[in-house]
Structure 1
């Protein structure tokens, strides 16, 4: 799996400084350039982007490196473990191609971070499996609706359980040169 930094570099396709892989608008010319959820989420996907559910590979134009589907369709796992505070740690100690945190966090700990440490989620959810760590996911998915999940920007990040497969998460193999 690529690191989060490697994934972002590949997703940008040589277009540094753009908000999205294809430009600065999420929907240029009122046309989606990625597989997204259109319509009333979560009840009715209208398929305005051409698909209701996942789309076949190469359904949308490639980026500047010739890579397809770097936005939408399925969240892509990165090798980095997820930490909500990763960027603040990076600012304190910047590195080229950071490899992510050495220790990951569980969903319980993420809930704690998101609630400023005030939500007793371990009491609510109980203990999780020791290998149940979250990994960084990138790119958004066909279940992302613009009202709550506009994560098609290369710099946007999310997380997913590494032991919980879904129909809207996947991975992309990468090779260093």
Structure 2
């Protein structure tokens, strides 16, 4: 989705819940278990350390991180440089056993902590959870551009540091925000994006 106020002033976003649903499946059982365990253990905030302790308590072994190491991968999207429409924090790890590969949302609303929500990962490669600030776009003329770091446009033809930005390519025809689009830097046609 393109949100823009005027030409040269806009951004690209995807619905956060849809993005999560493409990668994971909500687990009511594990969400309830984690929240109850936190209450029993008197843990107020669902930090990565607390989530690691929960997984270790439930499986007997420490979880494995996103990249196969022993550290949980955590990220807070409370910045302008991502395409997720909501500000969330999340932790991703592989707990093994009956828990399996998990993604747990841990915060929102500017980084304020909320009750954790557990999702079972449904992707083959946990690294897909790290892809929160990229999108692929193509225009009617077949020019392909990729959004990197949430705001830079890149194609096979771009070189060096002279890359167009998503913001700079935002267009609002006749000041109608409903028709806002990101213009292809090559030809000016609207880019259609997939996350």
Name the TM tier (shorter chain).
under 0.3
Q: How high is the TM-score relative to the length of structure 2? A: 0.19
Quick one: higher RCO (CA 8 Å, sep 6+), 1 or 2? 1
Q: How high is the TM-score relative to the length of structure 1? A: 0.20
Give 1 or 2: higher strand fraction.
Answer: 2
Considering only CA atoms, is the larger Rg found in Structure 1 or Structure 2? 2
